[in-house]
Amino acid sequence: MIKVGLLGCGNVAHIIAKETEGFSIKACFDLMPRRAEEISKLTGAGSFSSFEEFIKEDLDIVVEAASVTAVHEFAREVLENGKDIVILSVGALADPGLKNELKDTAKRTGRKIYIPSGAIMGLDNLKIGRISNISKLLLRTTKNPRSLGIETDKKTMLFSGRADECIRQFPKSINVAIALELATGHDVEVELWADPDLQRNTHEIIVEGDFGNFYLKIENKPCPDNPATSYLAALSIITLLRNLEEPIKIGT
């Protein structure tokens, strides 16, 4: 059974901790010790407030469910210590220097970096962009202004432009765009909207290319304890971990 360490013990970690069929949580780390202790009580995993002690544990893979800052600070060390890593805060990889550093480290250490589908679906299908021309790739994200930390009484476009520009203004709202860029190998145009009448975060993906046209709309239910986090994002990590243990097979 795959031995998992949780880097970040907030709402996403709590959801993962309740759905551990197919894998086992062995260690949890958070800069706020109380959070790690809560996960420890749910799973029996070791609780750590020191990353150096956490990463010495016997783990196969570390799940980052913390922040872009945590990816910058800890992802390379996870790989250097012989563990694979799942990066949920994929917006960190908008930094080409960090992305290349982690790729080089993974290659050198023989470890793997996994990117979950997060708050959207269809990433595997969009990999066709690496072999067939894409002429348009647009992500239109609409959220309730409360989750963006702003106030508005009408639907308002907050940003329109490239993903790498959006991250400077809205670093917590760019994970989906970077995941799309990694999947397709193509720059993503981003529209970010705030809508006070919206109860669910919505992502619309519009793709045009030599293969035809593609439109996908996802309406995410927020996590019960954190409206800024998609429930689907947490579930995508659970699915990834279970598939690592027992990949889907067809036939006998």
Alpha-carbon 40 to chain mean position: 22
Give me 3's structure tokens: 């031995």
User: Does residue 14 carry a catalytic annotation?
Assistant: no
Backbone angles phi, psi at 65, to 5 degrees: -135, 50
Distance CA 97, CA 186 (A): 18
Count of CB atoms within 10 A of residue 77's CB? 15
Give me 160's structure tokens: 């329109």
Distance CA 61, CA 113 (A): 9
Distance CA 25, CA 227 (A): 25
Give me 73's structure tokens: 């600070």
Beta bridge pairs of residue 230: 222
Catalytic residue annotation: 203
